[in-house]
Amino acid sequence: MYVLMAFRHLKNRVPQLASPSSFNFSRLVHSFSFATVKAEELSGSQPAEVLNLVQGNWIGSSNRNTIPDPLNGESFIRVSEVDEKGIQPFVESLSKCPKHGLHNPFKSPERYLMLGDVSIKAAQKLSLPEVSDFFAKLIQRVSPKSYEQALGEVFVTGKFLENFCGDQVRFLARSFAVPGNHLGQQSNGYRWPFGPVTIITPFNFPLEIPLLQLMGALYMGNKPLLKVDSKVSLVMEQMLRLLHECGLPAEDVDFINSDGKTMNKLLLEAEPRMTLFTGSSKVAEKLALDLKGRIKLEDAGFDWKILGPDVQNEDYVAWVCDQDAYACSGQKCSAQSILFMHENWSKSSFIEKLTGLASRRKLDDLTVGPVLTVTTKEMLDHMKKLLEIKGSKLLFGGEALENHSIPAIYGAIKPTAVFIPLEEILNENNYDLVTKEIFGPFQVVTEYKQNELQLVLNVLEKMHAHLTAAVVSNDPLFLQEVIGNSVNGTTYAGLRARTTGAPQNHWFGPAGDPRGAGIGTPEAIKLVWSCHREVIYDIGPVPQNWQTPKPT
């Protein structure tokens, strides 16, 4: 979801994850009172157990989902998954929360302060090198990515918690007042919770996405039920234990592991007042119908980048493009899916530089690694279909990774780029194929000429997902033209523009859809996790000598 390179200096401070080919993990020096696992010891011989949390109690289940290690296929996590017969305690727990929430501006305002204190303590814990190292390595084990990328996710999460320490939680519920028509009348606008809510998050950011949305829900007074993809739910289970240690009441959050069918049944029975869903567009559209629109979505993104006519700093731009397309093996909803190059860039050494950067990525340091939702065959078959398009060609990659033990249920290919002529992308017979999101290290590259910018804008207009985008140019008129004729919710503009960026200091989310959800900022929290309530005070006095008027 983001590229955070501020941690290069930390490589010498904390040990790197062992080579995935060796699996000879050393024991952690540190142990924590909240933790029930040791990240470096997870293996087939020492599997982790993941429990559920409901009404303040951690509970198991007779139904175990065994998770294969994405690096060698060993069964290294056992998840207690709730089946359809076991959802009733979760339904009851949500039903106990009233529509006006656990707190609101008129009810239990001390909870705003309590949650500010929880944020302070949790931020302090995550700032400890041994704790951040624990979570970074835990993330690596369940969703393999480079240590730098994993540690960056922990860093952003910690900074988010710092942003909402102390009084910052109650400032989220800031109200306003407007004078009325007569003495004693005044209208007041308040941010109001929904009450019982649910959060469903994917595998690719096991800590950042669920934690940021969970805390936003709590800050505004809701009672959330959290479901994280079972492949990675161990990370949030450990984080919830840390939050409890920091003072979060155990009954404030429920945590469930289940398959999709069971979760769908739970949603229909519990009827949460709002559901936040981050994941695939197909599932998002189904939930929108099932939940009668009571949903916020941060779904798939076929994210674009346009290189403008002003060619400069080729090395830097190529590096950002490599990071955007291939960091985390392309498994970011903000990953660069298609690159539009002005013809001036095509005439430069840009593609050569991008090819060289992609070739540096290797499995040993997880700068490329397992793809958890698309198999090798599916990615290579998609590439073959693209190469059947007239004028297309393989720029680099296009081969399976070699000498690894990644199980066949996951994907493993070299960073890949396929060139498709612009006019062929606009061909109705090709458009859906070219703009199909491949959640892996795969991108489409094309070229446009000086007088073809409108054709590029036509491609953008036809897209359905409008999450992130980048316009790489310092030409203000060019930026104005592209930004003014596009809609992506998180758009970077300028020479240093990227597509992958979800730090805690700016909005991250789609635009162009009234169901769109944001993350990270006060505006995102208020939009997703509260609604507007207007209270009009009209206390009088009634005018002297008032008489009942004629009916109207």
DSSP for 187-220, written as a single string: EEEEEE--SEEEEEE-SSSTTHHHHHHHHHHHHT
- Distance from the Cα of residue 156 to its chain's centroid: 12
Active site annotation includes 523 = no
Residue 427 contacts residue 433 (beta carbons within 8 Å): no
pLDDT value at residue 30: 52
Q: Calculate mean pLDDT across residues 137-160.
A: 97
- Residue 13's pLDDT is 35
Catalytic one of 298, 321, 328, 447: 298
φ, ψ at 375 (rounded to 5°) = -80, 165
328 a catalytic residue: no
Mean pLDDT across 488-500: 96
Is 70 exceeded by the pLDDT of residue 21?
Answer: no
Closest CA relative to residue 435, chosen from 443, 388, 342: 443
Question: Which of 20-34, 159-173, 481-495 comes out lowest in average pLDDT?
Answer: 20-34
Domain 304-493, CATH class in plain words: alpha beta
* CB neighbourhood size of 261 (10 A): 10
What count of other Cβ atoms lies within 10 Å of the Cβ of residue 265?
A: 15
**Phi–psi pair at 268, nearest 5 degrees:** -65, -35
Average pLDDT over residues 76-103: 98
Angle between the N-to-C axes of helices 314-326 and 350-359, in degrees from 0 to 180, rounded to the nearest 10: 50
**Which residue from 305, 335, 312 is spatially nearest to 493, judged by alpha carbons?**
305
Residue with tokens 């005018």: 543
Amino acid at 34: F
* Average pLDDT rounded to a whole number, residues 401-427: 97
Question: What's the rounded Cα separation, in Å, for the pair 237 and 245?
Answer: 13
Per-residue pLDDT at 6 exceeds 80: no
- d(C-alpha 69, C-alpha 150), whole Å: 17
Enumerate the H helices of 388-467 as residue ranges: 422-425, 431-434, 453-462
pLDDT for residue 27 is more than 60: no
Q: Which two tokens stand for residue 497?
A: 């523009």
Name 408's Cβ contacts closer than 8 Å, sequence gap at least 6.
375, 376
pLDDT of 19 strictly over 60: no
Positive or negative torsion for Cα 187, 190, 196, 199: positive
- Per the rule left: phi > 0, alpha: psi between -120 and 50, beta: everything else, 306 is beta
- Confidence class for position 4, pLDDT limits 50, 70, 90: very low
Mean pLDDT computed over 397-419:
97
Tell me, what's the pLDDT at 502?
Answer: 75
Report d(CA 79, CA 63) in Å as an integer: 8
pLDDT over 50 (residue 25): no
Q: Does 12 have pLDDT greater than 90? A: no
In the DSSP assignment, the letter for residue 494 is S
Q: Which residue type sits at 47?
A: P
**Percent of the chain whose pLDDT exceeds 70:** 94
* Structural domain boundaries in the chain: 48-299+519-532, 304-493
Percent of the chain with pLDDT over 90: 91
> Residue 31: is its pLDDT beyond 90?
no
pLDDT at 17 over 60: no
The per-residue pLDDT for range 307-331, each reduced to its tens digit, is 999 999 999 999 999 999 999 999 9
Q: Give long-range contacts, CB 8 A cutoff, 24+ apart: 380-387.
A: 380/413, 382/436, 382/438, 382/442, 383/416, 383/418, 383/442, 385/433, 386/418, 386/420, 386/433, 386/434, 386/444, 387/418
Partnered with residue 306 across adjacent β-strands are: 340, 471
The average pLDDT across 381-403 equals 98
* Residue 507 to residue 390: CA distance in whole angstroms: 39
Q: What is the largest CA-CA distance in the chain?
A: 94
Q: Are 520 and 504 in contact (CB under 8 A)?
A: yes
Joined tokens for residue 443: 């991108």
What DSSP line would sit under 448-469, residue for residue? E-TT-HHHHHHHHHH-S---EE
Task: Kindly tell me if the per-residue pLDDT of 70 is higher than 90.
Answer: yes
* Long-range contacts (CB closer than 8 Å, 24 or more residues apart) made by 213-217: 213/276, 213/278, 213/519, 213/528, 214/253, 215/115, 215/119, 215/160, 215/161, 215/164, 216/519, 216/524, 216/525, 216/528, 216/529, 217/276, 217/528, 217/529
Please, which pLDDT band fits residue 32 given cuts at 50, 70 and 90? confident
In sequence order, what are the residues at sequence separation of 6 or more whose Cβ sits closer than 8 angstroms to the Cβ of residue 549? none
Question: What confidence tens digit (pLDDT) does each residue in 188-200 have?
Answer: 999 999 999 999 9
| DSSP per-residue letters across 2-47 | ----TTGGGTTTSPPPPPTTT--PPPPS---SS-S--GGG-SSSS-
Report pLDDT digits (tens) over 260-292: 999 999 999 999 999 999 988 889 999 999 999
The whole-angstrom separation of Cα 514 and Cα 374 is 29
Sheet harboring 531-538: ordered strands across?
176-179, 185-192, 531-538
Fold agreement between 48-299+519-532 and 304-493: no
Mean pLDDT of the region 296-302: 86
Residue tagged active-site, from 148, 237, 333, 447: 333
Contact 70, 140 (CB under 8 A): no
Residues 6+ apart with CB under 8 A from 250: 53, 56, 57, 244
For 48-299+519-532, which CATH class?
alpha beta
Rounded to the nearest integer, the mean pLDDT of the chain is 93
